[in-house]
Structure 1
């Protein structure tokens, strides 16, 4: 059992976990109509560098040689650059050159975009371990602030993040839903 940077060979498990974490946002960001389309497009992005969903932005929790958890993170100052390929594809699919996506990360923070643990491995602290790994990774990169967004109704997650030292600094809208933006100094 280890937490490590994602690899191309983790694609199937990591992308399914990513989809489980972002659900409706995945439809919005890929332009997919079916779950299969969304997963195919997320997989395509996962396999390439230079975009939000690239394997280079994920850490995975591995058990028995399989990715059973993942955390997607990047610095907020990179968001517009790594979102560009996603926006370009979405504009082509929707035939709308003015289309934009919601801003999730602030420029001054290392941002946890998505977190998921396979249901069969849930309740073992793997999510907490992945958050700790993301915090450590951020510190290694020289960052001092980490953030995430959590849906307001997700009281269990909000409680966990508070226990881990995150505090709500504002509310934000993502895909027409209200989220708490939570930050932590690291």
Structure 2
């Protein structure tokens, strides 16, 4: 079943998000140790407003346990959604926080997609993308975008099969990503 995420999903969500974004999770939390990164990702998840808030997530569940997650929001909201994260980083480090722009302001943006490896190959990632695509379309968005690391050929093929088309290459946290866009009806 796919459903809107709930605060109680925070532990599984933190692990799934970490599995998808690795070093970006360290940058977003200001933490070096995985245990601390997971704790802060969980804290972000239960907050009402930031990019990783449960409000921006759908989860795929098996026996009501989240085994997959998709995080998405409108690109025009990205800077505002990052404000609590920037504040946390600045308080923790004493330095100004800066994040690369991941989404065009006109696109509904798929920030993170992750499925527990024990449930890989079952189509759960595709189900999550299709659910969020339907949601974006129902909300009246014209385009749905995502980034995929250049070297992740398997994911590139999946996204192309689902109708996403290459638009440009961008840099996120010192890595090159293909920015793909799907036009919604």
Q: Which residue of 110, 131, 136 maps to 1:138?
A: 136
| 1:156 CA drift (Å) | 0.3
1:99, CA displacement in angstroms?
Answer: 2.7
Determine the structure 2 residue equivalent to 1:117. Answer: 115
Corresponding position of 2:41: 42
Structure 1: how far apart are the matches of 2:78 and 2:91? Answer: 20
Runs of 4+ off more than 4 Å: none
Match of 1:182 among 155, 172, 180: 180
For structure 1, which runs of at least 5 residues remain unmatched after alignment?
none
> 2-side partners of 1:57 and 1:74: how far apart?
6
Aligned residues: 184
SS of the residue 1:139 aligns to:
helix
How far 1:9 moved relative to its partner? 1.3
- Which residue does the alignment assign to 2:91? 92
| 1:155 to 2:153 alignment | yes
Match of residue 27 from structure 1: 26
The gaps in structure 2 that reach 5 residues or longer are none
Q: Over aligned residue pairs, what C-alpha RMSD do you find?
A: 0.7
Please list the CA deviations of residues 11-69 of structure 1 after superposition, one character each: whole Å capped at 9, or x if unmatched: 11111101111111000111011001111111111111111110001100011110010
